[in-house]
Homo-oligomer: A and B are copies of this chain.
Amino acid sequence: MAPTHTAPITAAFDLLGRRWALRVLWELRDGPVGFRALQERCDDVSPTVLNARLAELRDAGLLWQDESKAHQLTATGRDLSRSLKPLLAWSERWAAENRR
């Protein structure tokens, strides 16, 4: 039988496999951040791209804007950023390995 829907994980990879997508989620993990502050945290990514990523992630239901325009994670977004934690541990092992 042919699949009528793609596996969820491939949709996730498609969304997250864009420049700055993972980083944005990561930088929002500790609470709301304004546009310009977020831009700085993301190595001064251009506002064009940042805004594009924010819109996509918002459409995906991972984040939203409060009254003061600050960007922050939804429950689903927080859930995702939590499931990104093992990646942090891995990256540190990886870096340690590449230091020599």
Contact = CB atoms under 8 A, between A and B. Distances in A.
Interface of A: 8-13, 16-23, 26, 43, 61, 76, 79-80, 82-95, 97-98
Nearest to A83: B86
A85 B12 CA distance: 12
A61 B98 contact: yes
A79 to B, nearest CB: 6
B95 A11 contact: yes
A15 to B, nearest CB: 9
A19 B17 contact: yes
Given A83-B89, A87-B83, A87-B84, A94 B12 contact: yes
Given A9-B87, A18-B19, A84-B87, 7 more contacts: A10-B23, A12-B91, A61-B97, A76-B94, A82-B86, A83-B89, A83-B90
